């Protein structure tokens, strides 16, 4: 009969790993010394467990324990890299493994919300929610599946991240269904301002030579790059940023709109016999309109307006008292007749514009 290992022993060894994982990406705000000590403690605890200090466990449990050790180390390695801190542990994980963790952490927003709260935000057209779900439906789901299928990611990291990603995917799917829409609906949404101002991506470990041409896209960051006799450029605005790199006999270019935030930025790098070019478009001078004196109006008391019944998904106007939309089948919500904001039951005034309702 199989005798399971000592659970108290493994619980004690996993204690610092749980602390790091519970803290999440904000672990980067801890002091360097504390994170360094945690790294060495977790590495030592993992070695003690692998050497059999806690006995033998079933294969599935054994895999879970190893995944927690490695996931907490991965989070610490990400913190060292994000803070640009020199630490020998940052090379323990590949750029692909760190990319996978960063991508999943981006969707941790949904982890703290219930399915009902996500569905409600979809119905109210919350910009952050719709922007994330649009990105998820267009490319991120497929991209993440490709990353997790990469043979270069160690099994312990893959199992931990896949569990996190699957939980997010399941909750998102159920929330979307509850909201009365499907995933394809999000891909048809127009771009928002947040799409245009999205955070730049960090591209690690570019190694190029022999007249290679690298285009970083709009406003992305090259880090730990080694270029010889090559060209690196960023087009479409957003600036060209190079960090912790070695550039020899190469050209760094940036093309796009003018502005300090859209120029070339180089830090902690060695540049030798190279050319730096910034080609910027000068925006046309705006035509100044003559200043007009404001027209004084007599303020009159605003009469109350009857609530309207509108589908928040397809904007179809329904008959008063209707419960479901005749166009898309979604639930009908009464809205303010003045500003179109949803009204709570028996509301006498609109919570957004203050207009009285009948």
Query: Which of 93, 114, 134 is the last residue in one of the domains?
Result: 93
Confidence of residue 291 (pLDDT cuts 50, 70, 90): low
Structural domain includes residue 2: no
Structural domain includes residue 79: yes
110 lies in the same domain as 188: yes
Distance, CA of 44 to CA of 16 (rounded, Å): 11
Computed over every residue of the chain, the mean pLDDT equals 77
Distance, CA of 95 to CA of 244 (rounded, Å): 15
What per-residue confidence (pLDDT) applies to 177? Answer: 86
- pLDDT per position as a tens digit, 54-78: 999 998 899 999 999 999 999 998 8
* Range with the largest mean pLDDT of 73-82, 85-94, 283-292: 73-82
Structural domain includes residue 289: no
Structure tokens at 342: 């949803």
Higher pLDDT residue, 81 or 205? 81
pLDDT above 60 for 158: yes
Structural domain includes residue 286: no
Structural domain includes residue 220: yes
Structural domain includes residue 143: yes
- pLDDT per position as a tens digit, 216-256: 655 567 777 777 887 777 655 556 777 778 888 788 877 65
250 lies in the same domain as 325: no
Query: Which of 172, 196, 220 is the last residue in one of the domains?
Result: 196
CB 103 within 8 A of CB 140: yes
111 lies in the same domain as 188: yes
220 lies in the same domain as 206: yes
66 lies in the same domain as 136: no
Chain-centroid distance of CA 350 in Å reads 34
What per-residue confidence (pLDDT) applies to 29? Answer: 92
Higher pLDDT residue, 57 or 311? 57
What per-residue confidence (pLDDT) applies to 1? Answer: 41
Identify the domain containing residue 29 by its residue range: 7-93
16 lies in the same domain as 83: yes
Structural domain includes residue 88: yes
pLDDT above 70 for 283: no
Distance, CA of 287 to CA of 285 (rounded, Å): 6
Number of domains the chain is built from: 4
Confidence of residue 84 (pLDDT cuts 50, 70, 90): confident
């Amino acid at each position: 009969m199989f005798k399971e290992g000592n659970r108290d022993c493994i619980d004690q060894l996993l204690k610092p790993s749980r602390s790091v994982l519970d803290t999440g990406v904000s672990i980067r705000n801890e002091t360097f010394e504390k994170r360094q000590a945690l790294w060495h403690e977790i590495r030592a605890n993992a070695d003690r467990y692998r050497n059999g200090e806690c006995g033998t466990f079933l294969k599935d449990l054994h895999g879970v324990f190893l995944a927690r050790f490695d996931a907490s180390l991965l989070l610490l390695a990400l913190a060292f890299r994000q803070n640009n801190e020199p630490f020998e542990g940052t090379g323990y994980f590949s750029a692909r493994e760190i990319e996978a963790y960063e991508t999943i952490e981006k969707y941790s927003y949904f982890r703290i919300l219930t399915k009902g709260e996500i569905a409600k935000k979809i119905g109210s057209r919350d910009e952050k929610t719709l922007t994330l779900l649009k990105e998820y439906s267009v490319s991120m789901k497929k991209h993440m599946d490709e990353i997790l299928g990469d043979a270069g990611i160690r099994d312990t990291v893959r199992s931990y991240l896949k569990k996190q990603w699957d939980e997010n995917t399941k909750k998102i799917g159920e929330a979307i269904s509850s909201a009365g829409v499907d995933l394809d609906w999000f891909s048809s949404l127009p771009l928002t301002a947040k799409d245009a101002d999205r955070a730049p991506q960090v591209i690690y470990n570019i190694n190029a030579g022999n007249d290679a041409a690298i285009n970083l896209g709009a406003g992305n960051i090259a880090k730990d790059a080694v270029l010889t006799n090559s060209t690196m450029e960023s087009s479409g605005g957003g600036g060209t940023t190079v960090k912790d790199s070695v550039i020899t006999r190469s050209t760094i270019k940036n093309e796009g709109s003018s502005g300090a935030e859209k120029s070339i930025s180089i830090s902690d790098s060695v540049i030798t016999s190279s050319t730096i070019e910034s080609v910027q478009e000068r925006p046309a001078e705006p035509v100044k309109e003559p200043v007009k004196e404001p027209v004084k109006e007599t303020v009159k008391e605003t009469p109350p307006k009857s609530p309207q019944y509108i589908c928040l998904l397809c904007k179809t106007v329904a008959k008063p008292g209707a419960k479901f939309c005749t166009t898309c089948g979604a639930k009908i919500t009464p809205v303010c007749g003045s500003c179109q904001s949803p009204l709570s039951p028996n509301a006498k005034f609109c919570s957004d514009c203050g207009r009285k309702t009948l």
